[in-house]
Amino acid sequence: MPETLHDPAIPNPAADTAEGITEVRRQEALLKTGALQNAIFNSANFSSIATDANGVIQIFNVGAERMLGYAAADVMNKITPADISDPQEVIARAKALSVELGTTITPGFEALVFKASRGIEDIYELTYIRKDGSRFPAIVSVTALRDAQGGIIGYLLIGTENSARKHVEAEQKLLDQRLRDQQFYTRSLIESNIDAIMTTDPSGIITDLNKQMEALTGCTRDELIGAPFKNYFTDPQRAEAAIKLVLNNKKVTDYELTARARDGKETVVSYNATTFYDRDRRLQGVFAAARDVTERKRLDQVLQEKNVELESARSVAEKANLAKSDFLSSMSHELRSPLNAILGFAQLMDSGSPLPTPAQKASIDQILQAGWYLLELINEVLDLALVESGKLSLSLEPMSLPEVLHDCQAMIEPQAQKSGIRIRFPEFDGPYFVEADRTRVKQVLINLLSNAIKYNRTRGTVEVTCSANTAERIRISVQDTGEGLSQEKLAQLFQPFNRLGQEAGAEEGTGIGLVVSKRLVELMGGAIGAESTVGVGSVFWIELNSTAALQLDAGTHEALAPIQPRAQHGAALRTLLYVEDNRANMLLVQQLIARRPDMRLLSAGDGTHGIALARIHQPDVILMDINLPGISGTQALKILREDPVTAHIPVLAISANAMPRDIQKGLEAGFFRYITKPIKVSEFMAALDMALAFAETGVDGAVVPQSL
């Protein structure tokens, strides 16, 4: 009987029965399942590929079409899924499964479904190849399709594109590699450091370290990590304090500790440390480096010992040098006495009556020539000894260069005329003042001029020039027309007793003069030098610090009105003898004494002349410069004190040497008062009045400072 279709609009009596209700529900379930299956099959989010038992594609859903670019008709009943998969991956999978399962699996579709055909759940990664040849990674789930009897009738391969996950995995892999590289780099830095490096937590427990730390302690990394930092030092309390110190101060540098290794070896280390933090600035612990400074400590100790030895040797050398200088000074003075007799009697014989015979005259001339040369040598050795021993006293004060050069011209021209040398001195169009010792400047210039004449050529010339080399310096140059000096000989200038090969020449010399000149100029704050051209001549020059003309103390603004004398009208004039070699100083004192109608002034240019005037004129007061040509002011004072004729006269010292020790030495030598330059008028007059009062009464009753 043919089946009658039921129209849903017409009531069906069978539906009202229990069996009818069940059938309806079954049909609804089938419809729902079919709808789900249809939705899955047509889903574009994953590919569904169904094959028959041989692997030939029977179903190729919308998702498969979208992912692979094939239309269903292009593949159904034509190819297997292996044909759209990476062939190398299929071959590799066959080999891997063969090894895993212990059976030979043929590369191809069998390799894709072998596990599923054995009832083993199989999900694997595979690269699909699109129709256009492009590739993409996919995760494939394989299920065997079976009939009611359990036989395989086909396979279902469900795939999802895996590009996003692969990209994430690749990025993660790259990040992991970078992290490993960074960790390797950091570890390499730590391990390559010459210092023992470690990290500790805030309580001082070691958390990491390098090989140098293992070598320092003789312990392994595993032994050290987790152990207290302080355990590996000779003074655990000091080591623990080092951790606390860095936690409090954030850093510590050059903290000395002594590490003790397992075998007992001790190493002095310089501990440097800082705190370190995590990304959220939470304290993690201490990063510390310990540098082995044992050798440095040993070298420091050796250096200290060597310094002590050197200091001791230097002291011995200085004492020996001073002893040598004292000896030379003493011997020079001792030699002067017999030499004075030799020269004196030789001159008497030379000028005696009757006159000496020619033969005697020749012998006397030899005695005198040798004597005067010996005296020059003694004087220069004495100067050198005084300079080297530091006993040479200089009086640095403003002095007029034109005046000094005028004196030098008067002294040197007879020698130049005798040698047939023309000598020219500069014409000055204004004042030239330098801060120097007048006597010593004259000594240096005479030495340079004497050498220029001595080592000049026949009928040669010597030219003296003076110029302001800079705003602070004045240069005096002495140029000759001698044979000149080579560069080699120029380099040997200013060496003691080195006459640059002139020892065999006719001209006498000591080889000391330039050495003394150099040291004198440098002591006065100046410089000395020379230039020379062989066959043309040489130029020797000195530079001295320029200054203004001698004036009253800049802080003194006293009017130069006459001062009323204390002596009564009609009283005898009081006499002041001023012994001074500096004309500028002499003129200044003349101006001051001109304001005293009760006084007259006598003057002398050196100590010997001053002593003679004192003995003849019996002045009421003597004003004595310390640094004088010939004998010093202190030596002149000693002679005056030893002579009963002059012993009672008060002597005032006047000097530019204003250091406390200079003043003290002057007062201890017996000067009545010590006046320092530049002169302050009120103090000068006060000292002069006190000296006059003492000369009259013999009593020094004034309570005033002894140094003025």
Calculate the average pLDDT of the chain: 82
The pLDDT score that the predictor gives to residue 73 is 92
Q: Is the pLDDT of residue 40 over 80?
A: no
The architecture that CATH gives domain 320-389 is: Orthogonal Bundle (1.10)
Residue-wise pLDDT for 428-478, tens only, equals 887 788 998 888 888 899 889 988 998 899 899 999 999 887 878 999 999
Q: CATH for 397-545, among 1.10.510.10, 3.30.565.10, 3.30.300.30, 3.40.50.2300?
A: 3.30.565.10
In this structure, of 404-408, 490-494, 637-641, 665-669, the range with the lowest mean pLDDT score is 490-494
Confidence of residue 344 (pLDDT cuts 50, 70, 90): low
Query: Which H or E run includes 675?
Result: strand 673-676
Q: Is the pLDDT of residue 505 over 60?
A: no
The architecture that CATH gives domain 193-292 is: 2-Layer Sandwich (3.30)
In this structure, of 159-168, 459-468, 660-669, the range with the lowest mean pLDDT score is 159-168
The pLDDT score that the predictor gives to residue 339 is 67
Query: Is 615 in contact with 609 (CB distance < 8 Å)?
Result: no
Q: Among 648, 654, 637, which Cα is nearest to 699's?
A: 648
In this structure, of 74-88, 127-141, 366-380, 422-436, the range with the lowest mean pLDDT score is 366-380
Q: Is the pLDDT of residue 388 over 80?
A: no
Q: Is the dihedral of CA 639, 408, 413, 505 positive or negative?
A: positive
Q: Cα–Cα distances in Å, from 484 out to 513, 538, 540?
A: 18, 5, 11
- Amino acid identity at 687: A
Q: Is the pLDDT of residue 311 over 70?
A: yes
- Per cent of the chain over pLDDT 70 is 80
Q: Is the dihedral of CA 2, 8, 14, 17 positive or negative?
A: positive
Confidence of residue 384 (pLDDT cuts 50, 70, 90): low
Mean pLDDT score, 309-318: 79
What superfamily does domain 574-697 belong to in CATH? Response regulator (3.40.50.2300)
CA distance 366 to 435: 42
- Per cent of the chain over pLDDT 90 is 37
Give the pairing type, strands 135-146 and 251-260. Answer: unpaired
What is the residue extent of each domain of the chain?
A: 42-161, 193-292, 320-389, 397-545, 574-697
Beta bridge partners of 129: 135
Residue-wise pLDDT for 240-280, tens only, equals 998 999 999 999 988 999 999 999 999 999 989 999 998 88
Could you give the residue ranges of the DSSP H alpha helices within 72-210? 72-75, 87-101, 109-117, 163-192
Residue-wise pLDDT for 512-566, tens only, equals 778 888 888 998 899 999 999 998 999 999 999 998 865 544 444 444 444 444 4
The pLDDT score that the predictor gives to residue 705 is 46
Q: What angle do CA 168, 170, 173 make, to 5 degrees?
A: 110
Residue-wise pLDDT for 213-247, tens only, equals 888 899 998 999 999 989 999 999 998 998 999 99
Structure-token match 């479904």, residue found: 113
The pLDDT score that the predictor gives to residue 567 is 47
CA distance 68 to 130: 4
Query: Is 494 in contact with 514 (CB distance < 8 Å)?
Result: yes
Q: Which fold has domain 42-161?
A: Beta-Lactamase (3.30.450)
* Position with higher pLDDT, 639 vs 366: 639
Mean pLDDT score, 613-627: 92
Query: Is 256 in contact with 262 (CB distance < 8 Å)?
Result: no
Q: Is the pLDDT of residue 80 over 90?
A: yes
Beta bridge partners of 486: none
Q: Is the pLDDT of residue 624 over 90?
A: yes
CA distance 115 to 486: 107
Q: Is the pLDDT of residue 315 over 70?
A: yes
Mean pLDDT score, 114-132: 91
The pLDDT score that the predictor gives to residue 707 is 47
CA distance 583 to 578: 11
DSSP state string for 111-150: HHHHHHHTT--EEEEEEEE-TTS-EEEEEEEEEEEE-TTS
* Position with higher pLDDT, 303 vs 341: 303
Cβ-Cβ contacts under 8 Å for 472 (sequence gap 6 or more): 545, 546
Confidence of residue 5 (pLDDT cuts 50, 70, 90): very low
3-state secondary structure of 433: strand
Q: Is the pLDDT of residue 95 over 90?
A: yes
Record the tokens describing residue 273, joined without a space.
């440390």
Preceding peptide of 678 cis, ω within 30°: yes
- Amino acid identity at 365: D
The pLDDT score that the predictor gives to residue 330 is 60
Q: Is the pLDDT of residue 316 over 90?
A: no
Q: Is the pLDDT of residue 591 over 80?
A: yes
Q: Is the pLDDT of residue 385 over 70?
A: no
Residue-wise pLDDT for 389-398, tens only, equals 666 667 788 8
The pLDDT score that the predictor gives to residue 561 is 43
Mean pLDDT score, 280-286: 91
Query: Is 465 in contact with 476 (CB distance < 8 Å)?
Result: yes
CA distance 179 to 199: 20
CA distance 549 to 250: 63
How far, rounded to the nearest angstrom, does the alpha carbon of residue 59 sit from its chain's CA centroid? Answer: 87
Record the tokens describing residue 675, joined without a space.
């006046």
Are the folds of 42-161 and 193-292 the same?
yes
CA distance 238 to 255: 10
Q: Is the pLDDT of residue 491 over 90?
A: no
The pLDDT score that the predictor gives to residue 325 is 60
* Position with higher pLDDT, 489 vs 82: 82
The pLDDT score that the predictor gives to residue 145 is 92
Say which DSSP state 194 is in. S
Buried b (16+ CB within 10 A) or exposed e, 567-587: beeeeeebbbbbbbbbbbbbe
Q: Among 453, 389, 445, which Cα is nearest to 416's?
A: 453
The pLDDT score that the predictor gives to residue 603 is 92
Mean pLDDT score, 496-509: 54
